[in-house]
Amino acid sequence: MSRPVTPRRTQFSRWHGITLRWADNDAYGHVNNTVYYQWFDSAVNALLVGEQLLDIVAGDPICLVVGTSCNYFAPLSFPGEVEVGLAVAELGRSSVRYNLGVFAKGAEEAAAAGTFVHVAVDRAGRRPVPWPDAWRQVLERI
């Protein structure tokens, strides 16, 4: 199996900063792999809330995560800060696949990178719906 190429900072258009916590480290002294998925979720949802698209309490549609992946290139550990870069890789009728990169603050190469797939669904029935125009316009810019 070939190793994935390490993404560079220039491949991402939006950024979300995160301060590492002591609890992020595992017994091996580096950030546990599960924490990266939390960072992906936080970065994507911060973008959607910040763009005033996602109303977590009462909005319609909502987004469900249907797939994630992550590759690790270099360890990170507390204390420190990371920057999660985000780009839209593919935009469908009701789905979007984001590419994400986790960078030590100021680093040019990612310590980890992955994908995160959202599907727009109606709040009540949880069935896929097309992206509203406002959502599509924002996602096309990223």
Strands, sheet with 62-72, edge to edge from the N-terminal-most edge strand: 14-19, 81-91, 95-104, 112-121, 62-72
- The reported pLDDT for the residue numbered 2 is 81
Task: Please enumerate in sequence order all residues whose Cβ is within 8 A of that of 107, keeping only pairs 6 or more positions apart, or say none.
Answer: 9
Among 50, 138, 140, 45, residue whose Cα is nearest residue 100: 45
Distances in whole angstroms, Cα of residue 53 to Cα of each of 8, 83, 105: 28, 22, 28
What's this model's pTM, rounded to 2 decimal places? 0.94
Assign 102 to helix, strand or coil.
strand
In this model, does residue 1 exceed pLDDT 80?
Answer: no
Cis peptide bond upstream of 79, omega within 30: yes
Write a three-state SS string for 45-99. Answer: HHHHHHCCCCCCCCCCCEEEEEEEEEEECCCCCCCCEEEEEEEEEEECCCEEEEE
pLDDT digits (tens, 9 = 90+) for 123-140: 999 999 999 999 999 999
CA angle 133, 127, 118 (to 5 degrees): 60
User: How confident is the model over 3-57, as pLDDT tens digits?
Assistant: 889 999 999 999 999 999 999 999 999 999 999 999 999 999 999 999 999 998 9
